[in-house]
Structure 1
Amino acid sequence: MVGVRDLDPSASPLDYYGYELRRLREAAGLKQQQLGDIIYCTGSLIGQVECTKRVPTRDFSERVDAALGTDGTFSRLVGLVLRSVLPTWFQAYAEMEARASYISTFQAQLVYGLLQTPDYARAVLGVRSEGDLDAKVAARMERQRVLDRENPPLMWVVLSEAVLHQEVGGREVMRNQLAHLLDLWRRKWVRVQILPFEAGAHAGQMGSFTVLRFDDDPDLVYTEDFVQGHMTANPQTLREGSLRYDLLQAAALSLEDSAALIARVMEERYGHQPAPDGRAVA
């Protein structure tokens, strides 16, 4: 049994979530194990969330709402909780990203966060991860909910071909990630182009960057170094970022050729290969 401690609900979104979960569970006359039985988890997990030792997921929150009849309280609150899991320096960007009407990004090494599969994200975040890796992955997946809203942002992504060949998480993870990029073609507001190796020297050699555009706010340019991110609305920087992005788009393969390259790399590099005994392996 997880030890019960007093929580200050004003300390953080996670503290408030744990405080409310305990309060509403007890108001319903349920013990931790009883609630766990209803939502198909352990009573220990309920206790860990109530004591802020575990970060709740969206699925957990939706099941709690259904079990306690809380009219979406925890489903709404979990977004704030997961946002708070993001690095402090990244939270402001995540907020602006969620408000953007147009996102254009060039990625030199990795698939853009909004397009990552859970397993790919886990491999990326697990390289240097302090704290709850599950929570960090859940926070990244929460960011992707912006693509499912009624009016999602238009997203145009240019990926270096190197992104396709950099094996992150193993062959199966990469195969599924590239398949996910191809599946995104069904979303008319998401477009992916590949900058091929044959492009040679290009306008993105200084590294990845993202331009966010808004209906009612100044546009922003976002970059990262190995310590933190940098976001600016400086007109000259924005002009330079926009020009570099236009040049990258012009040098990249067409949408159709980009999809064909993704599919070819997926099959040739990460497809099922025969093992020495003749059996197929991933």
Structure 2
Amino acid sequence: MAHVRRDLDPSASPLDYYGYELRRRRDSAGLTLNELGAIIFCTGSLVGQIECAQKVPTREFSERVDAALGTEGFFSGLVGLVLQSQLPSWFQPYAAMEAKATYISTYQCQVVYGLLQTEEYARVLLSVGHPDEVDEQVAARLERQRILRREVPPPLWVVLSEAVLHQQVGSSEIMREQLEYLLHFAKNPWVQIQVLPFSVGQHPGMMGSFNLLRFDRDPDLFYADGYDQGSMTANPQVIRERSVGYARLQACALSPEDSAELIGRVMEDRYGHQPGPDRSTVA
């Protein structure tokens, strides 16, 4: 596919700046689109689309470009800003604060928290609201998860309604992989997952999912999901009330150990591989 070479305004957006710099530095290296593509294991067409700001680069692409052009981490550093810019505009302020938080608490009543979603689970969720931007949205969500892989990540405390385990997102295989991924965090000292069982009955989280962010020097933040966008506040009274409510949720929820046991049980009972009609059990 031929690409019309168009001039980009590098100040228009992080994506335009990335494309502008990629073209400039590729030209300086004396490489054609196809030649750079061959070096970084992709098509010249993809390189051209990224240079024209028609495609969003991935972190892997950026790391390979840095290695190929000797740009010393320039594109690897820039891609985080590019991917963050692909998030919904109303969500970007929260994502920026989430990345700076020193402690994250979340209650989720419908879906797994974004930082703990597998790529396929996220892809199914995001295809509902963004069918034309799924790849970009998934890449942006996975980029958010990088904070958990820092040398010293922020502690993350998650309370999940048991409904999250039963609400099927995608295929049974996708759900099984997602629940297995949650169990993977059982050995992570920075992540604690508790399940709020159905048996609790009414509880302080019945108004919906919410997050609490704490910082070293900035005021705490409260974020609540909405139908089409969320809301965020640092109002001290709201923070106080929601913090108490979250503590009550933690007290009502199963322990992390019992929660892992329940997650494993639902994973096997609801999403386990069932024997097909052509299989037989041999005693």
TM class by shorter chain equals over 0.9
- In the alignment, what sits opposite 2:59? 58
- In the alignment, what sits opposite 2:250? 249
- In the alignment, what sits opposite 1:232? 233
* Alpha-carbon offset, residue 185 of structure 1: 1.7
Relative distance call for 1:73 and 1:162 in structure 2 (3 A) is same
Instruction: Give the whole-Å Cα distance in 1 for the aligned partners of 2:261 and 2:63.
Output: 38
- Cα RMSD of the aligned pairs, angstroms, is 1.1
Instruction: Give the whole-Å Cα distance in 1 for the aligned partners of 2:73 and 2:26.
Output: 15
* Alpha-carbon offset, residue 187 of structure 1: 1.6
Instruction: Give the whole-Å Cα distance in 1 for the aligned partners of 2:237 and 2:279.
Output: 59
2:269 is the alignment partner of 1:268: yes
- In the alignment, what sits opposite 1:193? 194
- In the alignment, what sits opposite 2:43? 42
Instruction: Give the whole-Å Cα distance in 1 for the aligned partners of 2:199 and 2:138.
Output: 34
- In the alignment, what sits opposite 1:158? 159
- In the alignment, what sits opposite 2:90? 89
Structure 1 gaps, min length 5: none
Letter in 1 for 2:77: R
TM-score (norm 2): 0.97
Partner-residue secondary structure (3-state), 1:127: helix
Instruction: Give the whole-Å Cα distance in 1 for the aligned partners of 2:133 and 2:4.
Output: 19
2:216 is the alignment partner of 1:215: yes
| 4+ long deviations beyond 6 Å | none
* Alpha-carbon offset, residue 279 of structure 1: 7.9
* Alpha-carbon offset, residue 198 of structure 1: 0.5
Instruction: Give the whole-Å Cα distance in 1 for the aligned partners of 2:143 and 2:133.
Output: 15
2:22 is the alignment partner of 1:21: yes
* Alpha-carbon offset, residue 268 of structure 1: 1.1
Letter in 2 for 1:27: S
Alpha-carbon displacement from aligned partner over 1:198-217 (angstroms, at most 9, x marks no partner) = 11111100000001011111
Alpha-carbon displacement from aligned partner over 1:129-188 (angstroms, at most 9, x marks no partner) = 154210100000000011111221110000000000111011111111111101112220
- In the alignment, what sits opposite 2:77? 76
Instruction: Give the whole-Å Cα distance in 1 for the aligned partners of 2:134 and 2:280.
Output: 34
Relative distance call for 1:28 and 1:121 in structure 2 (3 A) is same
Structure 2 gaps, min length 5: none
Partner-residue secondary structure (3-state), 1:106: strand
Letter in 2 for 1:215: D
Instruction: Give the whole-Å Cα distance in 2 for the aligned partners of 1:193 and 1:223.
Output: 19
* Alpha-carbon offset, residue 237 of structure 1: 0.7
- In the alignment, what sits opposite 2:135? 134
Instruction: Give the whole-Å Cα distance in 2 for the aligned partners of 1:267 and 1:75.
Output: 40
Instruction: Give the whole-Å Cα distance in 2 for the aligned partners of 1:184 and 1:10.
Output: 40
Instruction: Give the whole-Å Cα distance in 2 for the aligned partners of 1:128 and 1:75.
Output: 28
Partner-residue secondary structure (3-state), 2:250: helix
* Alpha-carbon offset, residue 276 of structure 1: 2.1
Instruction: Give the whole-Å Cα distance in 1 for the aligned partners of 2:263 and 2:19.
Output: 43
- In the alignment, what sits opposite 1:146? 147
Q: Percent identity?
A: 65
Instruction: Give the whole-Å Cα distance in 2 for the aligned partners of 1:224 and 1:263.
Output: 27
- In the alignment, what sits opposite 1:277? 278
Letter in 2 for 1:136: Q
Letter in 2 for 1:216: R
